[in-house]
């Protein structure tokens, strides 16, 4: 029986899509090239900004996101993933555009956090203002008996500049933003967080080697893709 083909709704931003593909590659147990998973990535950086749509009344990304889902479905995807946290605000509309199951990265991440952190714990969240305003993680964490803390307003402004600024992560400036983002994560830890969720895929690009417990939703998504395609026993330690 042939393996499932995985479609990626990407381009938000392009480097995060590449990062997800690399994490799927790294998580796949393979003795030869042919053991790796068939991926189809629709990396479309033209998708309207998700955060601006939520907080500033910008153009809705829903039509383009649904077009991507339909394109991946037509290309033969058996499973679809979204390489962007904020885009999960529109998960229901995207799932309605296809009969192919779409994995929900936020649910995977929160389930992992609940397994790793004692009940009643506080979890730090570094995410775009759009993700925070939409309550994507806040509601899901509360449903698991956890609470979320975010940077204060100045810290959130700093985070958004690190992601979207003229020398931000989205434009490829990873190294200079690592200490900025790590400092914000440490501040959340100092305020009592048991761990910090990289609630934006760009944050995951710069928190890989931080000195505090960080949860990378994109890595969890990659692991789940491998499990779904290769079976529960598949793992690469």
H helix intervals, the chain = 14-27, 50-55, 62-74, 91-96, 105-116, 129-134, 136-143, 153-164, 178-190, 201-206, 217-230
Q: Which of 66, 109, 117, 200 is catalytic?
A: 200
Active site annotation includes 210: no
Q: How many Å from the N-terminal Cα to the C-terminal Cα in the chain? A: 26
Q: Distance between CA 139 and CA 55 in Å, rounded?
A: 18
Q: Which of 84, 109, 117, 210 is catalytic?
A: 84
**Residue 55 CB coordination number (10 Å):** 17
Active site annotation includes 84: yes
- The phi, psi pair for 80, rounded to 5°, reads -125, 140
Catalytic (active-site) positions: 84, 200
């Amino acid at each position: 029986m042939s393996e499932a083909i995985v479609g990626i709704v990407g381009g938000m931003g392009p480097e995060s899509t590449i990062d997800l593909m690399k994490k799927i590659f790294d998580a796949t147990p393979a003795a030869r090239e042919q053991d790796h998973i068939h991926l189809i990535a629709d990396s479309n950086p033209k998708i309207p900004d998700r955060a601006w749509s939520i907080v500033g009344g910008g153009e809705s990304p829903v039509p383009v996101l649904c077009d991507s889902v339909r394109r991946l479905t037509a290309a033969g995807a058996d499973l679809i993933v979204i390489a962007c946290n904020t885009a999960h605000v529109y998960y229901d509309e995207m799932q309605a555009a296809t009969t192919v199951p779409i994995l929900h990265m936020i649910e995977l991440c929160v389930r992992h956090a609940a397994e790793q952190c004692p009940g009643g714990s506080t979890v730090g969240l570094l995410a775009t203002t759009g993700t925070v305003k939409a309550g994507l993680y806040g509601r899901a964490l509360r449903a698991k008996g956890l609470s979320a803390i975010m940077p204060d307003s100045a810290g959130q402004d700093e985070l958004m500049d690190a992601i979207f600024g003229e020398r931000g992560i989205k434009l490829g400036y990873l190294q200079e933003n690592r200490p900025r983002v790590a400092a914000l994560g440490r501040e959340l830890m100092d305020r009592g967080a048991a761990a910090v969720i990289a609630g934006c895929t760009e944050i995951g690009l710069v928190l890989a080697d931080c000195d505090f417990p960080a949860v990378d939703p994109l890595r969890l998504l990659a692991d789940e893709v491998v499990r779904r395609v290769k079976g529960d026993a598949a793992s690469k330690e």
